[in-house]
């Protein structure tokens, strides 16, 4: 049996009421709010967060591949999945790939992971889809989009939803596009794009997969596929194919709270559906963009044993409303901010980043084999990785010790108004990890008022800066919510 | 058994520039002004200097910067750097060279053209990988205040008041010092209502960021008869660099600076001091932030652990107290041109011992301690220098 072993999701903590766009630009406001990635987040960090949610306490060492789907990768040349593989603590002999440029990338990656497992080249593959597409200010597209991510671990054991069938079509229609040098999305006239694209190809694929496997709409508990901004069209497409309202995984709850998340849209809707699924449910799942991929999922008894996770519901419950649209513009770099009147940061040293990739990207420290002390060196001095134990002086006699999924408590903190950051004050914490180890971190996704000595935090993968085009990633602490 | 510097070398001349935002002066101006003053004060000529140790963090290009400024005639000139502790490091190099008998007369000079760095406040920290947490220097010292308040059960108001009194004292002293950067008295209310720089530290909890230079002429103790000034002997020079485990190992309390404590113990031993609280006449400590001065009082055994508040409130460290601290205004008000500070800290005892401290003059001081610290409280290099008659 091959299928989904676990799922996870990520939605940024910061949300913006769509009325903020109306306040800024006038015009018509869509209902609800959109999720906005923080200034230190991007598709890579959100993808890692969803994968961590998916993995839980699971064994990263058992994963044989990582497929990352996005249309908003930080690099045009340079793989994102390779960064994520270190962040997630995967083995070195894994196959990684970025599936990019298509809004269908999330389901493409899902299908390719399935194929790899079926072919026997992998036993477990992590698929993560994340997007933060950018629409030009003052348009309706800007209001409709949101940022988010989903992840699925596909495998052969402890399958919670068996993948029983697949069907794909490819269709050439540049409904929305971004050229290699475009910052913002471009679109053709909506009616043509939706009528000849979305509303044509999704029924074609849904009907195609049912015909291929001899199934009818009544055989499915639920049909899950992505929606355009106009959610009514989504419902109409489903009913055209023969599904009734009770079978449709409605798109509104995500649209009103998160927005359309690009190639993570359909995967996030599937996570929402799986959160509500019961053993025996049959789900028809599809994602569109340059065609459609469709899948038949059979939910198994194992879903009742899946450990608790945040998923969509947990992330939706935790949020902070942004106070202004201007903040959004600056976080996305659409409007430049006055530079700090401080000396420029020293240029990135790629050689050092490479040398310390395991410590910086993977948050690996050590446990001394001689005295047992657990240690992470935050690299403030130029001495990482650790060569000499800080307690007993043992040299190079350590076991690797991962901190990325450990919780910690704030030992001390400050809110620093002098340090130049995009969202002052700079909140910095010195934390003591459960099980041992201490280190300094930036504190992100925080309300300064809620921080005290003893506040519980967890680690989150974030982008520290972009320097000479290099996205420099590391880990920050954030309050556990 | 290591040797001792006690009474083997003496300071016979010192110079110190005005500290402040000296926009019109460059490193050359600062070096020339401090050194010519020191040379004249010692009653020697520039050509009598045999070797030079210079300390600076940002403003130097090897020893050459000082050789160039003074057009020294092909002398051995060494540049040392130990972060904010670079000034003491220059004194250490010059003193040891003289004590070793290699030279008779050495110059130690510290300088910093800090206001050419293009920022307010002290520079932040970076690492090689571009992943350093975003904290300024006030930030990492603020975290010591957070811990101190937490550990000793002080409310933010109580803690900030305790620290505020330190700054009020230093501003008073600075107002009496014509060379100080900040020469205005302040009130506790002003301290407590000032903008927050890094919680819980406010504007007046932070030292001045200044340009300046200071210089000392150091000679062998057996030569002092050939100099006009009352000599000030070096009694102890101890330095302690952190293995930087405080930010990695959970037993560090972040309410003290272990390196200061250890450097203090070593210096007291070298100087033969058994009761610092009673025997030290005055101290110039590295009060980059008010909290640094507070914990340093405990680290150097002037106050008991957790009880510096009582001593602050009793006025023990005031100019009129039993152990005046920062009689010249300290880093807080004299200012903090990084490389110069460690030598500036010796300038005040030098003036005090010779009865030249003007309105700040203390009665009959005999032993002075200077404490120079570089880097963060959990990972510093700390130097303790004791001088006396």
**pLDDT band, very low/low/confident/very high, at B8 (cuts 50, 70, 90):** very high
- Number of cross-chain residue pairs from A and B with Cβ atoms under 8 Å apart: 165
Per-window interface: B 47-106 vs A, CB < 8 A: none
Between CA B221 and CA B202 the distance in angstroms is: 45
Mean pLDDT, rounded, of chain A: 95
Point out the residue among B135, B147, B200 whose CB comes nearest to the CB of A419. B135
Answer yes or no: do A414 and B121 touch at CB < 8 A. no
CB contact B255 to A (< 8 Å): no
Per-window interface: B 187-206 vs A, CB < 8 A: 195-201
> Per-residue pLDDT averaged across A111-137, rounded?
98
Q: Mind listing the pLDDT tens digit for each residue in A219-232?
A: 999 999 999 999 99
Task: Give pLDDT, residue A385.
Answer: 78
Answer yes or no: do B248 and A474 touch at CB < 8 A. no
Chain B contacts of A377, Cβ < 8 Å?
Answer: 248
Chain B contacts of A448, Cβ < 8 Å?
Answer: 199
CB contact B118 to A (< 8 Å): yes
- CA distances for B49 relative to B11, B30, B53, B92, angstroms: 13, 18, 11, 16
Answer yes or no: do A440 and B135 touch at CB < 8 A. yes
Per-window interface: B 141-160 vs A, CB < 8 A: 142-144, 146-147, 150
Answer yes or no: do A437 and B199 touch at CB < 8 A. no
Answer yes or no: do B135 and A342 touch at CB < 8 A. no
**pLDDT band, very low/low/confident/very high, at A339 (cuts 50, 70, 90):** confident
Task: Give pLDDT, residue A379.
Answer: 66
Task: Give pLDDT, residue A343.
Answer: 78
Q: Which of B192, B387, B212, B139 is nearest to B283 (CA)?
A: B387
pLDDT for A59 beyond 90? yes
Between CA B4 and CA B6 the distance in angstroms is: 5
Between CA B389 and CA B366 the distance in angstroms is: 6
Task: Give pLDDT, residue B124.
Answer: 74
**pLDDT band, very low/low/confident/very high, at A35 (cuts 50, 70, 90):** very high
pLDDT for A6 beyond 90? yes
Residue whose entry in the numeric block shows the structure tokens 């599904």? A243
CB contact B136 to A (< 8 Å): yes
pLDDT for A8 beyond 90? yes
Answer yes or no: do A380 and B132 touch at CB < 8 A. yes
Q: Mind listing the pLDDT tens digit for each residue in B162-210?
A: 999 999 999 999 999 999 999 999 999 999 999 999 999 999 999 999 9
Contacts of A63 (CB under 8 A, 6+ apart): A88, A90, A91, A94, A124, A125, A126, A153
Catalytic residue annotation of B: 84, 336
pLDDT for B121 beyond 80? no
Rounded to the nearest angstrom, the minimum Cα separation between B231 and chain A is 40
Can you give the pTM of this predicted structure?
0.95
Point out the residue among B121, B133, B244 whose CB comes nearest to the CB of A441. B133
Q: Taking CA atoms, what residue in B is nearest to A416?
A: B198
The token pair that represents B238 in the structure block: 């101890």
Domains and CATH numbers, chain A: 3-331 (3.40.47.10), 350-479 (no CATH)
CB contact B376 to A (< 8 Å): yes
Q: Residue B68 in 3-state DSSP?
A: helix
Task: Give pLDDT, residue B117.
Answer: 87
Answer yes or no: do A439 and B129 touch at CB < 8 A. no
Q: Taking CA atoms, what residue in A is nearest to B135?
A: A419
pLDDT for A305 beyond 60? yes
> Per-residue pLDDT averaged across B275-283, rounded?
98
Point out the residue among A346, A418, A438 whose CB comes nearest to the CB of B248. A438
pLDDT for A344 beyond 80? no
pLDDT for B2 beyond 90? no
Point out the residue among B136, B250, B379 whose CB comes nearest to the CB of A432. B250
Task: Give pLDDT, residue A348.
Answer: 80
Find the DSSP H helices in A246-338. 252-257, 265-276, 311-316, 325-331
> Per-residue pLDDT averaged across A279-284, rounded?
98
Q: Percentage of chain B with pLDDT > 70?
A: 100
CB contact B247 to A (< 8 Å): yes
Lowest mean pLDDT among A180-184, B133-137, B164-168, B176-180: B133-137
**pLDDT band, very low/low/confident/very high, at B1 (cuts 50, 70, 90):** low
Answer yes or no: do A391 and B121 touch at CB < 8 A. no
Lowest mean pLDDT among A282-291, A347-356, B119-128, B132-141: B119-128
Task: Give pLDDT, residue B127.
Answer: 84
Rounded to the nearest angstrom, the minimum Cα separation between A449 and chain B is 11
Answer yes or no: do B120 and A418 touch at CB < 8 A. yes
Residue whose entry in the numeric block shows the structure tokens 């630009």? A25
Q: Mind listing the pLDDT tens digit for each residue in A74-111?
A: 999 999 999 999 999 999 999 999 999 999 999 999 99
Per-window interface: B 296-315 vs A, CB < 8 A: none
Burial class (CB within 10 angstroms; exposed 0-12, middle 13-18, buried 19+) of A118: middle
Q: Mind listing the pLDDT tens digit for each residue in A353-394?
A: 999 999 999 999 999 999 999 999 876 555 567 899 999 999
Mutation choice for B interface testing from A341, A382, A388, A416 by most B CBs within 10 A: A416
ipTM associated with this complex = 0.94
Answer yes or no: do B135 and A426 touch at CB < 8 A. yes
DSSP H or E stretch at residue B348: helix B338-353
Point out the residue among B128, B254, B376 whose CB comes nearest to the CB of A412. B254
Point out the residue among A390, A442, A467 whose CB comes nearest to the CB of B133. A442
Chain A contacts of B244, Cβ < 8 Å?
Answer: 380-381, 383, 390
Helix, strand, coil % over all residues of chain A, rounded to 5? 30, 30, 40
> Per-residue pLDDT averaged across B32-47, rounded?
98
Task: Give pLDDT, residue B311.
Answer: 98
Domains and CATH numbers, chain B: 9-119+211-232 (3.40.47.10), 137-206+233-388 (3.40.47.10)
Peptide bond into A241 cis (omega under 30): no
Point out the residue among A418, A426, A473 whose CB comes nearest to the CB of B121. A418
Chain B contacts of A474, Cβ < 8 Å?
Answer: 129, 131
């Amino acid at each position: 049996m091959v299928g989904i072993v676990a799922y996870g999701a990520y939605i940024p903590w910061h949300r913006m009421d769509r009325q903020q766009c109306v306040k800024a630009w006038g015009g018509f406001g869509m209902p609800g709010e959109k999720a906005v990635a923080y200034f230190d987040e991007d598709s890579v960090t959100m993808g890692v967060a969803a994968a961590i949610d998916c993995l839980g306490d699971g064994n990263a060492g058992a994963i044989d591949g990582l497929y990352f789907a996005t249309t908003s990768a930080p690099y045009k040349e340079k793989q994102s999945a390779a960064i994520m593989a270190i962040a997630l603590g995967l083995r070195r002999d894994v196959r990684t790939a970025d599936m990019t440029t298509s809004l269908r990338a999330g389901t493409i990656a899902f299908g390719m992971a399935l194929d790899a497992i079926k072919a026997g080249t992998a036993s477990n593959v992590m698929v993560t889809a994340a997007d933060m597409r950018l629409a030009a200010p003052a348009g309706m597209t800007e209001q409709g989009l949101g940022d988010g991510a989903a992840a699925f671990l596909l495998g052969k054991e402890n399958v919670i939803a068996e993948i029983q069938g697949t069907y794909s079509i490819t269709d050439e229609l540049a409904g929305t596009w971004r050229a290699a040098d475009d910052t913002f999305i471009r679109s053709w006239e909506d009616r043509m794009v939706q009528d000849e694209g979305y509303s044509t190809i999704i029924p074609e694929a849904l009907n195609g997969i049912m015909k291929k496997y001899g199934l009818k709409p009544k055989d499915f508990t639920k049909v899950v596929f992505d929606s355009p901004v106009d959610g009514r069209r989504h419902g109409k497409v489903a009913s055209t194919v023969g599904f009734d309202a009770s079978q449709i995984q409605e798109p509104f709850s995500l649209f009103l709270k998160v927005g359309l998340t690009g190639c993570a849209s359909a995967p996030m809707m599937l996570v929402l559906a799986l959160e509500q699924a019961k053993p025996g449910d049959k789900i028809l799942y599809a994602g569109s963009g340059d065609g459609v991929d469709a899948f038949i999922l059979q939910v198994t008894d194992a879903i009742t044993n899946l450990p608790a996770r945040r998923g969509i519901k947990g992330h939706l419950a935790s949020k902070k409303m942004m106070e202004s649209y201007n903040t959004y513009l600056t976080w996305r770099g659409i409007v430049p901010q006055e530079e700090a009147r401080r000396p420029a940061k020293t240029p990135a040293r790629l050689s050092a980043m490479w040398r310390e990739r395991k410590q910086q990207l993977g948050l690996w420290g050590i446990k001394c084999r001689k005295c047992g002390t657990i240690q992470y060196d935050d690299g403030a001095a130029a001495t990482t990785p650790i060569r000499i134990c800080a307690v007993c002086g043992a040299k190079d006699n350590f076991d690797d010790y991962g901190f990325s999924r450990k919780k910690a408590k704030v030992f001390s903190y400050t809110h620093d108004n002098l340090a130049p950051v995009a969202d002052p004050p700079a909140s910095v914490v010195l934390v003591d990890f459960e099980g041992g180890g201490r280190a300094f971190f930036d504190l992100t996704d925080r309300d300064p008022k809620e921080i005290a000595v003893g506040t519980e935090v967890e680690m989150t993968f974030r982008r520290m800066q972009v320097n000479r085009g290099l996205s420099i990633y590391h880990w920050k602490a954030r309050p556990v919510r | 058994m290591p040797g001792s510097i006690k009474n083997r070398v003496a300071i016979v001349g010192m110079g110190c520039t005005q500290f402040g935002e000296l926009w019109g002066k460059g490193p050359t101006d600062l070096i020339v002004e401090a050194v010519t003053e020191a040379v004249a004060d010692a009653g020697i000529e520039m050509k009598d200097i045999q070797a030079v140790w210079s300390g600076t963090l940002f403003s130097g290009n090897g020893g050459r910067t000082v050789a160039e400024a003074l057009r020294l005639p092909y002398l051995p000139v060494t540049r040392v750097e130990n972060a904010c502790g670079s000034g003491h490091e220059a004194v250490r190099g010059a003193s040891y060279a003289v004590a070793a008998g290699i030279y008779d007369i050495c110059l130690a000079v510290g300088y910093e053209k800090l206001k050419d760095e293009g920022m307010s406040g002290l520079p932040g920290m970076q690492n090689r990988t571009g992943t350093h947490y975003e904290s300024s220097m006030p930030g990492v010292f603020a975290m010591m205040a957070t811990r101190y308040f937490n550990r000793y059960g002080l409310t933010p108001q109580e803690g900030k008041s305790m620290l505020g009194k330190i700054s009020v004292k230093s501003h008073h002293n600075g107002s009496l010092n014509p060379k100080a950067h900040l020469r205005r008295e302040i009130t506790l209310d002003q301290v407590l209502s000032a903008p927050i720089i890094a919680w819980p530290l406010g504007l007046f909890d932070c030292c001045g960021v200044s340009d300046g230079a200071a210089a000392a002429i150091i000679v062998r103790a057996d030569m002092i008869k050939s100099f006009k000034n009352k000599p000030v002997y070096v009694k102890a020079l101890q330095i302690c660099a952190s293995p930087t485990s405080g930010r990695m190992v959970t037993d560090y309390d972040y309410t003290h600076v272990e390196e200061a404590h250890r450097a203090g113990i070593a210096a007291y031993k070298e100087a033969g001091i058994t009761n610092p609280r009673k025997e030290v006449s005055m101290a110039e400590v590295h009060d980059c932030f008010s909290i640094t001065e507070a914990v340093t009082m405990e680290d150097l055994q002037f106050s008991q652990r957790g009880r510096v508040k009582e001593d602050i409130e009793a006025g023990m460290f005031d100019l009129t107290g039993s152990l005046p601290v920062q009689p010249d205004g300290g880093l807080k008000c004299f200012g903090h041109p990084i490389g110069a500070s460690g030598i500036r800290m010796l300038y005040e005892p030098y003036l005090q011992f010779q009865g030249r401290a003007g309105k700040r003059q203390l009665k009959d001081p005999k032993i002075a301690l200077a404490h120079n610290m570089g880097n963060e409280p959990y990972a510093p290099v700390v130097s303790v220098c004791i001088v006396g008659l």
